[in-house]
Amino acid sequence: MSLEDDLHIVAGQEQRLQFERFGPAEAWELGRRLKEAAESRRACLAIDVSLQVQQLFHFAMPGAAPNNADWIRRKRNTVFRFFRSSYGVGLQMLQRQTTLAAAYALPLSDYADHGGSFPIVVAGTGCIGAVSVSGLPQREDHGLVVEVLAGMLGRETDGITLSP
Residues 6 or more apart from 142 whose CB is under 8 A from it? 10, 85, 86, 87, 115, 116, 118, 162
Count structural domains, the chain.
1
Once rounded to an integer, what is the mean pLDDT over residues 97-107?
98
The answer to whether residue 161 sits within a structural domain is no
% of the chain exceeding 70 in pLDDT: 100
Give the count of beta carbons closer than 10 Å to the beta carbon of residue 121: 19
Q: How far apart are the first and last CA of the chain?
A: 10
- Confidence band for 159, pLDDT divided at 50, 70 and 90: confident
- pLDDT, tens digit (0-9, with 9 covering 90-100), for 4-43: 999 999 999 999 999 999 999 999 999 999 999 999 999 9
- pLDDT, tens digit (0-9, with 9 covering 90-100), for 44-53: 999 999 999 9
Q: State whether the Cα torsion 26-28-33-35 is positive or negative.
A: positive
The answer to whether residue 158 sits within a structural domain is no
pLDDT at 17: 98
Quote the domain boundaries for residue 79: 3-153
Once rounded to an integer, what is the mean pLDDT over residues 101-108?
98
The answer to whether residue 120 sits within a structural domain is yes
Output the DSSP codes for 53-69: S-EEEEEE-TT--THHH
Residue 164 in this model has a pLDDT that exceeds 90: no
Query: 68, exposed or middle or buried, with CB in 10 Å at 0-12, 13-18, 19+?
Result: buried
CATH at 69? 3.30.450.150
